[in-house]
Amino acid sequence: MLRYAKISAVVISVIGLAALAPQSVQAGVLLDFSLDNSTVSGTTVADLSGNGYNGTIVTTYGPVTTGVPGALNEAFWFEGGRIHVSPGPVLVGNVPFTLAFWIKTEDTANKYVLNNETYNQWGVLLNWSGAGGGPGTIAIWNLNNLTGTDSAITLLENNTWEHVAWTYDGAKLVKYHNGVQQSEYSNPNIAFAYPNTTWRFGESGLGGGFIGGLDEIRIYSNALSASEVAALATIPEPSAMALAVLGLIGLLAYAWRKRR
């Protein structure tokens, strides 16, 4: 019986690894914060892109709670704190990009979710009417030749994980909500005016800190396709490997009963 118990423990561990395996990350990723507990050491948040853009948890203006249930595995919950990345990914001029992440919030105030600290030149804003988005929206603000109206994504549920993404190929901005394209905006010159040397996630500037959760933050140097964005917004089902191991557990349990 002990032998079967040991085998069962092993296969259960395999199931956990198989079922909770991270999503594949597409080419061109500049920064990748899974925000899983395994990527946090003290106040350091590991960048999984391999580019070394590790973040630092800053709690000067409020807490950041790690290890909360996320859209995928664990996530961060912000209540005034932030992740500070310096130096961060450099985007200058009219360059392609993709910004994608999961968000969960009940915050109805005007708040930055992401901001460039060095120049306060651009960011992602929640509920900010001044950016053209308005209540219940999240929008990119203050890139040259781009308004909040052009980039605003309507969030549908309070306190529910929702995936948002913006892609830009040098001529067209496309916005996605939960992996589905909402609309596109043609503009040949959406420009980053300054080097983005410092990034703040859960920014604690405008109106105080963002209250809510973030998960699976990714920035790319290219415009992802619609299918690639949909893959980021998909919560994976247990893999075939996990299902096979479940069947193995059933066989082991049956064999153990037969031996009794």
Task: Write down the mean pLDDT value for the chain.
Answer: 79
145 Ramachandran zone, left/alpha/beta (phi>0; psi -120 to 50)? left
Q: Over range 150-178, report the average pLDDT.
A: 91
Domain 27-235's class? mainly beta
| Residues comprising the chain, all counted | 260
Question: Would you tell me how many other CB atoms lie within 10 Å of the CB of residue 253?
Answer: 12
Where are the chain's structural domains?
27-235
CB 80 within 8 A of CB 208: yes
Q: Over range 134-152, report the average pLDDT.
A: 77
pLDDT tens digits along 169-203: 989 999 999 999 998 888 767 777 666 678 889 87
Does residue 66 register a pLDDT over 80?
Answer: yes
Q: What is the pLDDT of residue 8?
A: 45
Q: What is the pLDDT of residue 119?
A: 53
Q: Which residue has the higher pLDDT, 233 or 240?
A: 233
Helices (H), the chain: 2-19, 148-151, 226-232, 240-259
Dist CA 254 CA 168 (whole Å):
55
Q: How confident is the model at residue 21 (pLDDT cuts 50, 70, 90)?
A: very low
